[in-house]
DNA sequence: TTGTAAGCGTTATCAG
DNA sequence: CTGATAACGCTTACAA
């Protein structure tokens, strides 16, 4: 460590640069001055090897790149995480994990380069992530697909309840043939929303038979809507599990000559930017996406600091009325 | 290293796990079997400290989080990078760098945790990145704002030429009051596009006075369009420096009662997803965004492998005609 | 408050 | 082909 040319030993330099304690103020100032002048940057690998901490946190998005980043909810979660981590001492590593490189990522996450892991949007096919917490603290956004023995920390809305609220709103509008466009079947949040929608219809004495499986994307949502409409032209209400699919559904409906909301009322989920840029502004279930991200980061930071935190945190969701329903 | 319990020394384990050479096939098989059984994951910090390589690459997006991820061009670049890196031995670290944490990021990039850096969307206010290549190989997407002494590697379209093509297309449509909505003034690509637009108008003997400054975002594009329209109601053509702003401009025009393209013709840039989801499908200058990402990654990988590569790589752009012009 | 010295978990050099 | 042994650059008791 060349900075020892400041007239002191490496230990002192280390202390001056990090601890701020057990060193005289004068030494601190001097060492820092010299370090700055020499453009010294501590080697992070050596640092974490010696201290057994990396001061880095990984945010894992287990989705093929492009897909994930087209989802405003996920992007907002990322922004929240990023903001909260920024003003901590930790550094954020964003990893968009396509299916292929899952093993690679797992190896990375367990190799000691990160002190904690944040997982957004977990699918059941990525169940390795569920057991990652044996080796490093993990916080999920969205209920994990499986309850593990030491349970996983997570932040989520009450998806089933929120979906029921959405379905009930459509019912209160007098709709009787209410379909749902779901998220991917291997995600807990998606399943919960479908369950909530079904419960509301059943409670109203209606059959819950109109289900189109989507995948959060506009393409998937449009395809589901088209199939639904063709098989059941009498549809008069749609609850889509996110705004992106809802917006796509609105497009399909309009193109098919139906008016929204008079012929078919549509409710989305997320209250994301997609809700406002849809051809008909969407009525939707709000979800504090960015706040969720901040909460995830905050929780992890606290776990890392040794605090005790609750396993699950429920964030609020409520109906936001706009033009589509 | 517990795996030494396989009956050999650490050295042999290391060789068996990495090199595949200087070890007998039998030993390799045995060691790997034991390692797998024990769930052994090499410590990455120790590894890079000893080998002086991290096998990681950083992709830096020097934009405040949300902004960047709302830009389909950037997202596509990211996807391309990600794809190319995935099937290399390197690991990708995505860092969205808000203004605040610039120093933090610079320290990270120079601390030896990454072997190379990819920079998307560089602004002149982030000029520290321009000199990063003294310490670690760097490849930019988009011409850097400044020519440094050892020059920086970059991939870009010929922005000025492409902008001229766009402006000339509007001219060929008989438009005479052609405005431009620019990108942020501190980005080279944005400036080049404005220059190209200006050159075309001047060559046609027209004044190039209608300039609205945008920032790549829908909000910025809409604001610029509104201001332009108010100050110059006679506008009959608009060249927006990206599709997102072009789409926003179309919205503003329609809401102001102008029809597109009859009253005002609009040309965008990128040929991104935004071009198709605009209220009037956009005529735009294509840019192979995802390919650009792949090229960036490829170039860096080759530099890392010790190959000689060209400083600048120009990718193709051409006019894509749709409804808006 | 500062120095000394022992690691941290790997790779790499050099013998054997 | 394999085993010792010395780094890698830093932190951290433990002494001084």
Both structure tokens of A145: 């697909």
What's the pLDDT tens digit per position in A106-144?
888 999 999 999 999 888 888 889 999 999 999 999 999
Indicate whether this model's pTM tops 0.75. yes
| Structural domains of chain A, with CATH | 2-50 (1.10.260.40), 55-156+291-315 (3.40.50.2300), 159-286 (3.40.50.2300)
Both structure tokens of A205: 């004495």
Query: Rounded to an integer, what distance in angstroms lies between the CA atom of residue B190 and that of residue B195?
Result: 9
Interchain proximity A91–B69, CB inside 8 Å: no
Residue whose structure tokens are 């005479």: B176
Chain Cα centroid distance, residue A35 = 40
- Enumerate residues near strand D (beta carbon within 7 A): A 1, 10-11, 13-15, 17-18, 42-43, 46-47, 49-51; B 7-12, 15, 22-27, 46, 49-50, 52
Which has the closest alpha carbon to A153: A163, A144, A166, A162? A144
A59 CA to C5 C1' in angstroms comes to: 38
CB B14 under 7 Å to nucleic chain C: yes
CB-CB contact of A280 with A324 (8 Å): yes
Which chain D positions have some atom within 7 A of a protein CB? 1-5, 7-13
Looking at A87-96, A210-219, A266-275, which range is the least confident one? A87-96
B38 shares contact with chain A (CB less than 8 Å): no
- Looking at the DSSP assignment, which residues form a beta bridge with residue B238? B179, B266
Q: What is the mean pLDDT of chain A?
A: 92
Residue whose structure tokens are 């080049």: B192
In angstroms and rounded to an integer, the radius of gyration of the C-alpha atoms of chain A is: 24
A49 shares contact with chain B (CB less than 8 Å): yes
B248 shares contact with chain A (CB less than 8 Å): no
Q: Which residue is nearest to nucleotide C13 (CA to C1')?
A: B11
Read off the pLDDT of each residue in A137-160 and give the average, rounded to a whole number: 96
Interchain proximity B69–A78, CB inside 8 Å: yes
Residue A22: the pLDDT is: 77
Residue B4: the pLDDT is: 61
Residue A181: the pLDDT is: 98
Both structure tokens of B212: 């609205």
Which has the closest alpha carbon to B43: A116, A113, A128? A113
DSSP secondary-structure letter at A105? H
Query: Rounded to an integer, what distance in angstroms lies between the CA atom of residue B262 and that of residue B175?
Result: 10
Residue whose structure tokens are 């190896």: A107
Residues of B in contact with A95 (CB under 8 A): 92-94
Minimal C-alpha gap between B302 and chain A (Å): 21
Residues of B in contact with A254 (CB under 8 A): none
Number of Cβ within 10 Å of residue A151's Cβ equals 13
Residue whose structure tokens are 């916080």: A139
> Residue B40 burial (CB < 10 Å; 0-12/13-18/19+)?
middle
CB A18 under 7 Å to nucleic chain C: no
Which has the closest alpha carbon to B5: B36, B35, B41? B35
Number of Cβ within 10 Å of residue A66's Cβ equals 20
Minimal C-alpha gap between B24 and chain A (Å): 25
Contacts for A321 with CB less than 8 Å, ≥ 6 apart: A283
Strand order across the A211-213 sheet: A211-213, A178-182, A237-240, A265-270, A283-286, A319-320
B46 CA to D11 C1' in angstroms comes to: 14
CB-CB contact of A83 with A148 (8 Å): no
Q: Which residues of chain B have pLDDT under 50?
A: none
B289 shares contact with chain A (CB less than 8 Å): no
- Note the residue count of chain B: 325
DSSP secondary-structure letter at B133? G
Looking at A80-94, A147-161, A246-260, B17-31, which range is the least confident one? B17-31
Chain Cα centroid distance, residue B254 = 31
Closest chain B residue by Cα to residue A63:
B79
CB-CB contact of B38 with B2 (8 Å): yes
> Residue B230 burial (CB < 10 Å; 0-12/13-18/19+)?
exposed
Surface of A (258-287) touching B: CB under 8 A: 273, 277
> Residue A1 burial (CB < 10 Å; 0-12/13-18/19+)?
middle
Q: Which residue is nearest to nucleotide C1 (CA to C1')?
A: A23
Which has the closest alpha carbon to A213: A192, A228, A198, A232? A228
Surface of A (109-128) touching B: CB under 8 A: 110-113
Read off the pLDDT of each residue in A146-162 and give the average, rounded to a whole number: 96
DSSP secondary-structure letter at A184? -
Interchain proximity B95–A98, CB inside 8 Å: no
Query: Rounded to an integer, what distance in angstroms lies between the CA atom of residue A253 and that of residue A261?
Result: 10
What is the DSSP track for A120-179? ES--GGGGGGGGGGGTS-EEEES--SS--SSPPEEEEE-HHHHHHHHHHHHHHTT--SEE
Which chain C positions have some atom within 7 A of a protein CB? 1-5, 7-13
Residue whose structure tokens are 């190379």: B116
Residues of A in contact with B278 (CB under 8 A): none
Both structure tokens of A172: 């209160």
Q: In this predicted model, which residue has the larger pLDDT, B221 or A19?
A: B221
* Whether residue A211 has pLDDT greater than 60: yes
CB-CB contact of A173 with A325 (8 Å): yes
Which has the closest alpha carbon to A264: A232, A241, A221, A242? A232
CB-CB contact of A319 with A285 (8 Å): yes
A102 shares contact with chain B (CB less than 8 Å): no
Residues of A in contact with B51 (CB under 8 A): none
B54 shares contact with chain A (CB less than 8 Å): yes
Q: Which of A49, A87, A104 sits opposite B91 (nearest CB)?
A: A104
What's the pLDDT tens digit per position in A32-63?
888 888 889 999 999 999 999 999 999 998 87
Both structure tokens of B196: 């190209």
What's the pLDDT tens digit per position in B195-213?
999 999 999 999 999 999 9
DSSP secondary-structure letter at B110? T
Query: Rounded to an integer, what distance in angstroms lies between the CA atom of residue A204 and that of residue B261?
Result: 49
CB A52 under 7 Å to nucleic chain C: yes
Query: Rounded to an integer, what distance in angstroms lies between the CA atom of residue B268 and that of residue B246?
Result: 5
* Whether residue A98 has pLDDT greater than 80: no
User: What interhelical angle do B72-86 and B289-304 show, nearest 10?
Assistant: 40
B86 shares contact with chain A (CB less than 8 Å): yes
């Amino acid at each position: 460590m060349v900075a020892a040319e400041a007239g002191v030993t490496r230990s002192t330099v280390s202390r001056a640069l990090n601890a701020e304690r057990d060193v005289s103020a004068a030494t601190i100032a001097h060492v820092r001055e010299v370090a700055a002048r020499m453009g010294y940057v501590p080697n992070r690998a050596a640092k974490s090897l010696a201290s057994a901490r990396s001061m880095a946190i990984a945010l894992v998005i287990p989705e093929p790149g492009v897909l994930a980043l087209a989802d405003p909810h996920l992007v907002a979660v990322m922004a929240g995480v990023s903001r909260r981590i920024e003003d901590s001492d930790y550094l954020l590593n964003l990893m968009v994990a396509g299916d292929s490189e899952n093993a690679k990522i797992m190896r990375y996450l367990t190799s000691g380069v990160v002190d904690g892991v944040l997982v957004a949007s977990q699918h059941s096919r990525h169940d390795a992530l569920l057991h990652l917490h044996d080796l490093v603290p993990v916080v999920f956004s969205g209920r994990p697909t499986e309850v593990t023995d030491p349970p996983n920390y997570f932040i989520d809305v009450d998806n089933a309840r929120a979906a029921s609220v959405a379905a009930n709103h459509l019912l209160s509008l007098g709709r009787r043939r209410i379909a749902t466009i779901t998220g991917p079947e291997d995600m807990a949040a998606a399943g919960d929303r479908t369950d909530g929608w079904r419960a509301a219809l059943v409670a109203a004495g209606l059959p819950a038979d109109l289900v189109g499986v989507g995948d959060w994307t506009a393409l998937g949502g449009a395809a589901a809507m088209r199939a639904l409409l063709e098989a059941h032209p009498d549809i008069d209400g749609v609850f889509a599990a996110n705004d992106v699919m809802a917006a796509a559904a609105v497009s399909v409906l309009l193109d098919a000559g139906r008016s929204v909301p008079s012929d078919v009322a549509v409710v989305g989920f997320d209250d994301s930017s997609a809700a406002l840029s849809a051809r008909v502004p969407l009525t939707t279930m709000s979800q504090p996406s960015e706040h969720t991200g901040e909460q995830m980061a905050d929780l992890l930071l606290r776990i890392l600091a040794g605090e005790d935190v609750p396993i699950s945190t429920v964030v609020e969701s409520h109906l936001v009325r706009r033009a589509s329903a």
